[in-house]
Every structure is written in C-alpha cells, then in structure tokens.
Structure 1
Amino acid sequence: MSIYTIAHSPDADDIFMFYAIKFGWISSKEIKFKNIALDIETLNEKAIESFFDITAISFALYPYIKDEYALLKTAVSFGKGYGPKLIKKRGKRLKKSFKVALSGKFTTNAMLFKIAYPNAKIIYMNFLKIEEAILKDKVDAGVLIHESILDFDNSLEVEKELWDVWLELAKKELPLPLGGMAIR
C-alpha cells in the first residue's frame, strides 16, 4: 500500500476540501492518505525541501519548486476584488520604513507587499499572530490573510488592499493568484 501525505493550511476552505480524507471517507486498498494542516509559510518551506507528496503552496513560491512539483488544476485560490490587506491602528501614519508583520517570505502577499513597500522592515510570523502584534505595538502594520481579513479589531483599519497592488501590476482586472496545490 502506498501512503501519500497531503499538506494544507488550517484555513476553513482547505479543511473543507480535504474533509473526506481527514475523516477517512475515502478508502482504497492501494492508496492511503495522511492529512497534515500547517500554516502557509511552513508549507512553502517544506515544499522547497520537497517534503510532502501533495501540498498547498503560495503561487509566488512556484518558480522556486517548478522542477520538483506540478500544479494541480483544482484546489486553487484566487482573489477577485479582494485579497490580503495591509492593516494598521486607526489614524496611524506609516513612515517610509515602517515595521510590518507578514505571514511568510515566500507568500504571494509578501511578494506584492515588497513591490509596493520596498523600504518597509519586515518581520515574519504566523498569520494568526499578526493582528495581536499590531494591537500590542510590536509592529506598525501587518498583512492579514484568510478569514482574518473579514473580522479584525475595530481599532484597526485598512491601509492598502494588496488587490490594488495586483491591479496596478496587471494593468487590468485579472484574478489575483494566491495559492494552490502542488504534487511531486
């Protein structure tokens, strides 16, 4: 019997996609799946090591792993009219070299952020800790992803939608490629 690891983020849509595998609803005598949920930057780093058989990745990472992994045609994430958001405390003015929290250096949001704010001082942390880091003044701002873009503290506000950075680069309204699944 072959055992394949499927690694994805703990984000609700990823969990939903792999629910049947996680709870053993898919059975085969030849194949068994091992389901693993990790934050996207850990998944990206593990993909660089070719660690998992099937893994979620940020599309910004794909050029670095294209010789080891192929993209799957399903289980992709695109934003249209929305996406990661740069947030800060309400009314705060950001300096040119402000300190920002990002969810990982190989993420699509990091790629777009670095294009828009080349002088910012970047600190990488788990995406679940970014809002708290802003609230506790550990950073001046942070880029929120996943469900956190929908429900953040009222004392925070959006400085920039990374969707707008994407529109400026694309020069037309194309879907923002965020992430997908890759297979070795």
Structure 2
Amino acid sequence: MNTTELDRGDRRVIRVAHSPDSDDAFMFYGLASGEIDTAELAFEHELQGIQELNERAMAGELEVTAVSIHAYAYLTDRYILLPHGASMGEGYGPRLVSREFMDRDRIRASTIAIPGELTSAYLALKLWEPAARTIVMPFDEILEAVRDGRADVGLIIHEGQLTYGDAGLVLLEDLGRWWKQETGLPLPLGGNVIRRDLGADLIPRVSDYLRRSIAFALDHREQAMDYAMGFARGLERETADDFVGMYVNQRTLDYGPDGRAAVKLFLERGVEAGILPEPVSVEFAD
C-alpha cells in the first residue's frame, strides 16, 4: 500500500519525521501535543538522527521529514521544500573544536569527526576547507571522541555548539560566522520537505498545519519549552532555551528572500566546488 493511502479510521495518516533534539521538538510541539486541530489528517511523529532521516528521505519513505539542506540536493525528484521549518545560522552554526588551538594548516592535516556526509555541516566544512580529512560518527559521540583523543577535531552540531567548553574543548572555527562573512547570508542547515506525490490538494493543507505548529510554539514559548526539555539531553533550561532560540525563530516561520537565496547559493557553491554532482533546482511549496 502506498503510504499516502494509510488511514486511521477516516483520517489520512501523515508521517512526520524529525530529529530527537530540543529545537525540532519545540518546532513540532503544536502537532505533537494535539494543540493544533488537524481535522481530517492524523500526524504520526517519528524521531531519528538527521543522518538517518537524510537516508530515509533518499528512499522516499516519509511523507514529511526534516532533512539537511545538503541532502536536499539529492531529493528534488521526490520532495519539495516547505516554506517554513528552516534551521538557519544567523552568523553562527556548526563549530570546529579541538583539545587545543590549531592553525589552518594543522587542521588540514588532522582527522575531523563529522556527523555524516549528507549533513549541511559537512558541506560547509568542505567549502571552508576542501582538503579536510574526515571520519563519520554519531553526532552525540563527537565531543567525547575529541576529548578522549579518538579524533583530532570535531565538527559539532546541535546543542554541542553551546556545550563544547564543558568538555574542555576550544573553538577553532564557527562555520556559520565564516559563511556570513563570505556571503552576507545566513547559513542554511536544515529544512522540512514534503513528498511530491501527496499532490496539489494535500500538500498545502499539510504545510498549513506545520506552519501553525511552529507559530503556536513561538506564541506559547514556556509551554513548548516544557515539552522540548524532554529532548534536551540534560541541558540546563536556560542553555536549552538559548539553543532553541538560535534555530527556531521568525526565520523558521518563513525563509524570507535572503533565506531562500542562501539555500540556492549554498548548493551552487557545492556544485562549483565539485562536492555536489550537478546543479540543484531549489523549489518551495508555496
């Protein structure tokens, strides 16, 4: 049976997948809590790490999923970007950290632990340093691997961007800051995509419910943060709130013209650098 034909009684089931992180949990709170009345649609939430979600999207398994903007380059035949749900680094983003300061030459010669080759963090790293030597490991093991000497440098995403100092590590480069200096644009990291075969009738309805979920969380911040703290991996509430504010904000409700331009430029730079195999047609479900 095609997944778009699944139903719960007389309600169409739409699977929505995102990472088990406080920012994504905050974003989807309105839907997950039932605060948003979805009428004829029943949303089922699936939580996995971003690399796993990227891979499942490659197989076309999910109706709606969070993906890396880097991964979207390989998904355009099956998925279209929703006009909301973006995670953008506004002069900040994935960070390179180590046990001690290193200059650029030493970083180039080092082994960098990364959270996956389809992540936007990896694409940003390769744009910053094409000769970077990398190994892949789960994102939540990278700080420990660097601290314990199993990797020279770590490429940190999610809450680790704020907590690397607690592990005794130092900042080498903030790739979001570098990108802002290079382009004047935010760094596009993640987005929500919807499968094209849902069709012209269903896509706008699903999109509206997801937009309303984001708006509800932003309008009911304390309530949504109570929920998001269940995904904060032991962070203090103040730190978790800071992290959520970095990646769920008005930009998440709407990319804006510069946000859309940033997505296109990020992927164009990937093509120019030979990291992406062919030009990407960026399309939004407006």
Following TM superposition, by how much is the alpha carbon of 1:99 offset from its aligned partner in structure 2, in angstroms? 0.9
Following TM superposition, by how much is the alpha carbon of 1:29 offset from its aligned partner in structure 2, in angstroms? 5.3
CA distance in 2, matches of 1:13, 1:25: 18
Deviations 1:19-76 (A, max 9, x none): 2322333445521111011111111111111111100011111121011101011111
CA distance in 2, matches of 1:50, 1:162: 30
Q: How does 1:86-165 map to 2 (within 5 A)?
A: 86-91=96-101, 94=106, 96-152=108-164, 153=166, 155-165=168-178
Percent of residue pairs identical: 37
| Contact 1:6/1:52 (8 A) holds in 2 | yes
Following TM superposition, by how much is the alpha carbon of 1:97 offset from its aligned partner in structure 2, in angstroms? 2.7
More strand by share: 1
Following TM superposition, by how much is the alpha carbon of 1:127 offset from its aligned partner in structure 2, in angstroms? 1.1
CA distance in 2, matches of 1:123, 1:4: 35
Q: Which residue of 1 aligns with 2:209?
A: none
Among 83, 88, 112, the alignment partner of 1:73 is 83
| Contact 2:93/2:177 (8 A) holds in 1 | no
Deviations 1:77-123 (A, max 9, x none): 11111111000002456353311111111111100112223333211
Larger Rg: 2
CA distance in 2, matches of 1:89, 1:150: 16
| Contact 1:59/1:108 (8 A) holds in 2 | yes
CA distance in 2, matches of 1:110, 1:154: 22
C-alpha distance 29-74 of structure 1, shift in aligned 2 (>3 A) = closer
- The amino acid across from 2:157 in the alignment is I
| Contact 1:9/1:37 (8 A) holds in 2 | yes
CA distance in 2, matches of 1:72, 1:8: 14
Q: Provide the aligned length of Structure 1 versus Structure 2.
A: 182
For residue 43 of structure 2, give the secondary structure of its aligned residue in structure 1.
strand
2:57 pairs with 1:47: yes
| Contact 1:87/1:144 (8 A) holds in 2 | yes
For residue 73 of structure 2, give the secondary structure of its aligned residue in structure 1.
helix
2:186 pairs with 1:175: yes
Following TM superposition, by how much is the alpha carbon of 1:155 offset from its aligned partner in structure 2, in angstroms? 1.9
Q: Which moved more, 1:43-52 or 1:148-157?
A: 148-157
CA distance in 1, matches of 2:107, 2:17: 38
2:36 pairs with 1:22: no
Q: Which residue of 2 aligns with 1:8?
A: 18
TM-score w.r.t. structure 1 length? 0.90
| Contact 1:90/1:155 (8 A) holds in 2 | no
TM-score w.r.t. structure 2 length? 0.60
| Contact 2:70/2:123 (8 A) holds in 1 | yes
| Contact 2:16/2:46 (8 A) holds in 1 | yes
- The amino acid across from 1:127 in the alignment is F
CA distance in 1, matches of 2:39, 2:187: 39
More helix by share: 2
